[in-house]
Amino acid sequence: MADAQSPALAEVVLGRPKNPDPDAACRFDQVEAPVTIVIFGVTGDLAGRMLMPALASLFAGGHLPDNFAIVGASRTDLTDESFRERMRTSIAEHDGISPDLWDKMAARLTYRQVHYDDPASFRVLSDYLDELGQSAGLGGNRIYYLAVPPTAYEDIAINLAMAGLADEVRGYARLVIEKPFGRDLQTARILEQALHTRFAEHQIFRIDHYLAKETVQNILMLRFANAMFEPLWNRRYVDYVSIMAAESIGVEHRASYYDHFGVLRDMFQNHMMQLLSLCAIEPPSLFEAELVRDEKTKVFRALRPFTQRDLAENLILGQYASGMAGGVRAPAYLDEEGVPSESLTPTFAAMKVYVDNWRWQGVPFYMVSGKRLAAKRTEIAVQFKPVPFSMFRELFGDHIKANRLTLRIQPDEQVSLTFQAKAPGPMCLRSVTMNFNYYQGYEGPALTAYAKVLLDCMLGDQTLFWRQDGVELCWKFLEPMLGDPAPERLYLYKAGSWGPQEAGRFLKVHGLTP
């Protein structure tokens, strides 16, 4: 008779499912159903630099269905041949694919000139997609990727719907949009109304490519698949959490856009809030899109609103001045082409926020992001509290450094844990660090962030995408900070530094000085 503790009996009595094949569980899903991907703004920077190389890598990796088509659409007058040549060049400038694979992929690429505010253009596009679907056996599954300025979102959504391209009679119709999702709470709601009168929420995929980075995806795995971390992940054991997204570049060619948005709208409303939510989230009952997004929304609801005192004490805004960056002289933000000479747009922000719930009450979350900083660096650090009592006080004193878990997202994706250990030889205490590098010991290249979100969109998985309620809650939290700061409250910092001197206490938690 089988022992009552045996795994076999446990499966029968308790109904526990057998573990899935580990290899099968680790493989990326392949899209089976035929699909047509229409990229609006295909001649722009985003499509050439990110989307087409991502689609090429999915094709080379066997993730795309056997039958698919990519239709480029923009205002530019191009032939199919000239469009394919532009895309070939864009893909080759990145990782590229073999000539044989490119020839096969190029046969799936076509182009149509579309004027976004012209309903007639969309009727012609609709007829073309129907003809293409019938002749190539593509069915009715379609993805519309809006790689265009946000000002064009409403026109495209309206005209897609008027042309019958938002209907899901013969297959799915999915609309993919990039941040920013509005400029404040009011404009976010206006955009939501414009989209939702034509598309249902399940059809709208709001991309945040940060969520597809390996280390970001690993936050939930690290927390909820390991018994050693989750019991300590709360106010009893965590001293503070710090989140940094530092960029070494300036505004580059995005000056006109950036001056209209600034660092709070460009980084905090989306990327930084998503990182915060993953650090603070409660465990969902199952790893499914709606359940995960429900828990994120609870975090956003629990954010402590900023008072006037908080705006004065817990928020530092800065703007980069000229300085040495990467060994060369970098201009001040006000000297960048396209930036008004008296602009008060912040390029740096540091803030301390609190999540008012049972798990995190009293634990500060420090968030820092800026442009023209000393290095490109995105990381999350969980600083644990020190031991409550030192039995080694006569040897080393009362102060023993606390443990620190660091999740590095950029430039290299890794996780490190710092703890205390005895040094070899005499009785000495020192800090040591264990490192886990994502790409050591793994075969084959990982999918890029854009390849991952494109794949998830084709699979209909919205886990890595924003939901409208989360968008609105984050705008609501940030609204008190969004107005132009008083000139004396916008602190200058040298390009190539870690930020303004006034942000020193925020940077110190990252081990940095301004």
- Measured CA to CA in angstroms, residue 378 lies from 322, 370, 407, 508 at distances of 23, 11, 9, 15
CA dist., res. 171 & res. 145, Å (int): 17
Using CB atoms within 10 Å of the CB of residue 242, give its burial: 0 to 12 exposed, 13 to 18 middle, 19+ buried.
buried
Which tokens sit at 442? 């793994």
Q: What are phi and psi of 328, to 5 degrees?
A: -125, 155
247 is in an annotated binding site: yes
Using CB atoms within 10 Å of the CB of residue 398, give its burial: 0 to 12 exposed, 13 to 18 middle, 19+ buried.
exposed
Which tokens sit at 423? 């040094």
- Measured CA to CA in angstroms, residue 504 lies from 407, 442, 500, 507 at distances of 22, 39, 7, 5
304 is in an annotated binding site: no
Which tokens sit at 98? 């073999």
Which tokens sit at 198? 């034509």
310 is in an annotated binding site: no
230 is in an annotated binding site: no
CA dist., res. 433 & res. 453, Å (int): 32
CA atoms within 13 A on the CB side of 119: 5
Active site amino acids: 271
CA dist., res. 402 & res. 176, Å (int): 44
SS3 per-residue string spanning 347-414: CEEEEEEEECCCCCCCCEEEEEEECCECCCEEEEEEEECCCCCCCCHHHHCCCCCCCEEEEEEECCCE
Q: What are phi and psi of 438, to 5 degrees?
A: -60, -35
Contact 365, 355 (CB under 8 A): yes
Contact 112, 128 (CB under 8 A): yes
The length of the chain in residues reads: 514
Write the Ramachandran bin of 484: left for phi over 0, alpha for psi from -120 to 50, otherwise beta.
beta
H/E element, 328? strand 328-330
293 is in an annotated binding site: no
213 is in an annotated binding site: yes
371 is in an annotated binding site: yes
Amino acid occupying residue 431: S
H/E element, 57? helix 52-60
CA dist., res. 102 & res. 128, Å (int): 24
CA dist., res. 274 & res. 300, Å (int): 9
Contact 77, 147 (CB under 8 A): no
266 is in an annotated binding site: yes
Please report, in range form, the residues annotated as the binding site. 75, 179, 209, 213, 247, 266, 371, 376
